[in-house]
């Protein structure tokens, strides 16, 4: 079957439509003005979220680490760190508004006297923001949370820009996203994510990058899990050089099924680039089938967004190659039901 036939047969949840319209989502999200006054640059920022609602925080943390004097922490827990207090800005992000860990940490933020900003489409988070008189960023509903990255990222980026934590979003990024999506679509004769998905089919991807790109590869891991129903593993270089590099021996059956994927940018530090080259050479003596993927971004933000979009498309194509509906998440729904309706 052709890839278009596979998509027609297996994409019953219409994931393709969401991928094709992603840059439109991002433009719409960027136009959502936080409309938040009276917030000053805090001593620290804690971004609270889980799953698809947390990835925006991971990307924002990486950007802030490179340009801001304010540290950003991503919190995936029921409570906040002990040091969170009045000079801490807590951004509670839950697409549904009902994520139980995020709701719990939001209540904890109120008890600690933290500054609070909430972002969701509805649910308990919206109700608590009203109860707490906390600024609320309302975003459109109707998406699987993992497909709402644009709505969860761009308004919060705008908020951070408004308080001076980051620079204003460059408008050129949207045109770049248009081009990337056009290149990634099934109609493209040379679709990079489709070619990568074919390489990953039946394999266990081991994803390696520099530390700055690690959040984008964590996005790959979560999308490959939810969309493709496939295991993958992530590590960064140089960290993996101090431990995981020794794992490429046992068990042999697992090593033989793995596909090492090195994700690179045009701006690697010299020592990290050297480490990647040496690591690739060492692993090739054990597993010669190695894939290298290079970002087409030109700076930190565009590198991260390029890889996020690329990974979304890879996971989509891998899903249909695996015979799966990319949108279906029955195990998550079962867990959610047994937890009492929250996720």
**Quick one: pLDDT band at residue 192, thresholds 50, 70, 90?**
very high
pLDDT for 38 equals 73
Q: Active-site positions? A: 226, 242, 336
Q: Is the pLDDT of residue 124 over 60?
A: yes
Helix (H) / strand (E) containing 137: strand 136-138
Q: Give the C-alpha separation, 45 to 34, whole Å.
A: 16
Q: Over range 128-155, report the average pLDDT.
A: 96
Q: Is the pLDDT of residue 312 over 90?
A: yes
Which domains are delineated in the chain?
Answer: 32-169 (3.40.50.10490), 185-322 (3.40.50.10490)
Q: Residue 276: CA atoms inside 13 Å, Cβ hemisphere, count?
A: 25
Q: Is the pLDDT of residue 165 over 70?
A: yes
Rounded to a whole number of angstroms, the distance between the first and last alpha carbons of the chain is: 37
pLDDT tens track for 271-286: 999 999 999 999 999 9
pLDDT tens track for 20-43: 999 999 999 999 976 677 788 999
The gap from C-alpha 232 to its chain's centroid, in whole angstroms, comes to 15
pLDDT for 67 equals 95
pLDDT for 331 equals 97
pLDDT for 343 equals 56
pLDDT tens track for 40-84: 899 999 999 999 999 999 999 999 999 999 999 999 999 999 999
Phi, psi of 236 (to 5 degrees): -120, 155
Q: Residue 175: CA atoms inside 13 Å, Cβ hemisphere, count?
A: 3
Phi, psi of 85 (to 5 degrees): -160, -150
Closest CA to 200 of 255, 279, 258: 258
pLDDT tens track for 322-343: 999 999 999 999 998 999 865 5
The mean of the pLDDT values for the chain is 96
pLDDT for 341 equals 64
Helix (H) / strand (E) containing 78: none
Q: Over range 189-214, report the average pLDDT.
A: 96
pLDDT for 274 equals 98
């Amino acid at each position: 079957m052709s890839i278009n036939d596979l998509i027609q047969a297996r994409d019953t949840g219409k994931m393709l439509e969401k991928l094709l319209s992603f840059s439109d989502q991002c433009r719409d999200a960027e136009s959502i003005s936080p409309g938040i006054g009276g917030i000053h640059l805090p001593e620290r920022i804690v971004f609270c979220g889980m799953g698809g609602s947390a990835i925006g925080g991971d990307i924002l943390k990486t950007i802030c680490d490179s340009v801001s004097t304010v540290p950003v922490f991503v919190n995936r827990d029921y409570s906040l760190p002990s040091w969170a207090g009045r000079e801490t800005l807590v951004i509670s992000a839950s697409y549904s508004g009902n994520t139980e860990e995020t709701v719990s940490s939001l209540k904890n933020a109120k008890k600690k006297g933290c500054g609070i900003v909430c972002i969701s489409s509805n649910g308990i988070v919206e109700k608590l923001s009203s109860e707490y008189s906390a600024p609320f960023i309302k975003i459109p509903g109707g998406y699987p949370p993992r497909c709402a990255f644009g709505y969860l990222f761009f308004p919060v980026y705008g908020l951070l820009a408004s308080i001076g934590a980051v620079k204003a979003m460059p408008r050129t990024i949207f045109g770049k996203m248009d081009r990337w999506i056009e290149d990634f679509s099934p109609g493209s004769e040379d679709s990079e994510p489709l070619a990568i998905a074919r390489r990953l089919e039946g394999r266990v991807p081991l994803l390696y990058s520099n530390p700055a790109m690690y959040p984008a590869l964590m996005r790959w891991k979560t999308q490959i899990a939810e969309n493709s129903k496939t295991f993958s593993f992530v590590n960064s270089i140089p960290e993996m050089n101090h431990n995981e590099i020794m794992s490429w021996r046992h068990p042999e059956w697992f090593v033989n099924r793995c596909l090492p994927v090195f994700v690179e940018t045009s701006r690697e530090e010299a020592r990290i680039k050297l480490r990647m080259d040496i690591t690739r050479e060492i692993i090739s003596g054990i597993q010669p089938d190695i894939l290298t993927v290079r970002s087409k971004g030109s700076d930190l933000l565009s590198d991260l967004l390029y890889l996020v979009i690329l990974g979304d498309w890879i996971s989509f194509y891998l899903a249909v190659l695996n015979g799966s509906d990319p949108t279906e998440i029955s195990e998550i729904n079962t867990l959610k039901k047994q937890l009492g309706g929250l996720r």
